[in-house]
């Protein structure tokens, strides 16, 4: 999953709060990436971005769409 730094909202936010929010979001994104790991499809080395609730299988978006189509 590609992630970017969260852009501060347009309304006035204290810079320390904006940095804290960015740090929390980055930490959560890294946690999700560790939990999902790599795509479970054969010979796919992409980062998994979707996890099926029924089976817990983690897939990249392309393989998830293929599975959903049947």
Q: Is 8 inside any structural domain?
A: no
> For residue 3, is it within any domain?
no
Total number of domains constituting the chain? 1
Encode pLDDT of 9-55 as tens digits: 555 667 888 889 889 999 988 888 777 788 888 888 888 888 888 88
Can you count the helices (H) and strands (E) in the chain? 2, 2
pLDDT the model gives residue 70: 74
Residue 65 in this model has a pLDDT that exceeds 80 = yes
> Is residue 33 domain-resident?
yes
Q: Which domain holds residue 53?
A: 15-69
Residue 5 lies inside a defined structural domain of this protein: no
Looking at residue 1, its pLDDT comes to 47
Residue 9 within any structural domain of the chain: no
Question: Phi first, then psi: what are they for 59, rounded to 5°?
Answer: -135, 155
Domain presence at residue 47 = yes
pLDDT beyond 60 at 2? no
User: Is the pTM value of this prediction over 0.75?
Assistant: no
What pLDDT is recorded for position 9? 58
Whether residue 4 lies inside any domain: the answer is: no
Q: Which of 30, 23, 39 is nearest to 2 (CA)?
A: 30
């Amino acid at each position: 999953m590609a992630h970017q730094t969260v852009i501060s909202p347009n309304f006035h936010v204290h810079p320390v709060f904006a940095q804290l929010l960015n740090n929390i979001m980055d930490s959560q994104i890294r946690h999700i990436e560790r939990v999902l790991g790599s795509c479970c499809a054969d010979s796919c080395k992409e980062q998994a971005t979707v996890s099926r609730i029924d089976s817990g299988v983690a897939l990249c978006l392309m393989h998830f769409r293929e599975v959903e189509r049947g």
